[in-house]
Amino acid sequence: MKSTTTSNDSISVFAPATVANVGPGFDCFGFALAGAGDVVHARLTDEPGVHIARIANDDGRLPLLAAQNTAGKAAQVVWQQPPDLSEAHGLELEIIKGLPLSAGLGGSAASAVAGAVAAMHLVAQLSARPYDDELVLQAALSGEMVASGSRHADNVAPSLYGGFTVVQANEPPHIARFIPQIELHVAAVTPAIAVSTKAAREALPKMIPLTDAAQNWANSASLVLALFTADEKLLRASLRDVVVEPCRAKLIPDFAAVKNAALESGAYGCSISGSGPTVFALAPNRQIAQAAAEAMSAVFARRDLAADIIVTTIDSEGARRR
């Protein structure tokens, strides 16, 4: 993790936004977005336990009770590991949301990751224990469970480690991480609509034709190969999801037109980020990514839907001190 100077009793940690699923990689692929993310400020107190003093930019929607908050729960899991420490010291958190809620950009995971990392650094400092990456991951997964109801690492892993991650298993977590060898720019467009995780899960197919499953397996393998070998043609062919995207597309107004606008702008491919409503496109340069973002936003505008735009690259660092 990249370090900056901090006082002895406080720390600030940034955790980036993420795109999960990434086309055919449902519940296993993810990558981190440079620039956008959540920040958790943590400081030591004399009052035992983990407490949340303030949450900014959430319009009062997120709980201040630590056990019911993703960052708070993740920090609790770390803080409770050395009992002698947690009984003698407390932790106060301030959460600065830089990501919209329920947007499909991994906001709950980013907060959980930032809370876990901040707590771990202070635990290591106070107890002279080594920084425990495995504990941080487990704590962040516990925090994510507060929001999503399950310990899925597809957003947590890229936010924590940066780069492109593949979650081979969730329990116990088995995660591979790599940096794509092809230049990638990302256009992420979030329309002003709500897509609940419950609705997105209910839209999933109960049965999958074997031919569709085989196509997604092939596309998933080909996508990773394309990122490793910088094969643009293969990337364009493999960034396709024939299983989940068709079912969730109906939750996003004019999704087909939005996707087509990105492709016509020159993007490698376009799909739904996480559960949505954010739609992302991968492009070979910033100019094409910007053009794709504006074209996608214009489609939403025809529906009188405002949309937030992010044009960025993949964050290779992951969570880090600020």
Which residues does the annotation mark as catalytic? 144, 197
Q: What angle do CA 103, 198, 194 make, to 5 degrees?
A: 35
Instruction: Write out the H or E segment, with its range, that includes residue 321.
Output: strand 320-321
- Assess contact for 309 and 293: CB atoms under 8 A: yes
Instruction: Identify which of 75, 101, 39, 137 has the alpha carbon closest to the alpha carbon of residue 274.
Output: 101
Q: How many CB atoms lie within 10 A of CB 115?
A: 37
**Cα diameter, the chain:** 60
- Identify the burial level of 248 via C-beta atoms within 10 angstroms of its C-beta, where 0-12 means exposed, 13-18 middle and 19 or more buried: buried
The number of C-alpha atoms within 13 Å of 157 and in the hemisphere containing its C-beta is: 25
Percentages (nearest 5) of helix, strand, coil residues in the chain? 40, 25, 35
Q: What does the CA dihedral 68, 69, 73, 75 come to, rounded to 10 degrees?
A: -150
**Three-state secondary-structure class, residue 210:** helix
Task: Write the DSSP assignment of 44-75 as a string of letters.
Answer: EESSSEEEEEEEESSTT-S--SGGGSHHHHHH
**Three-state secondary-structure class, residue 186:** strand
Q: List, in order, residues 6 or more apart from 9 with CB less than 8 Å away.
A: 43, 44
Q: Where are the alpha helices (DSSP H) in 31-148?
A: 70-79, 83-88, 107-127, 133-148
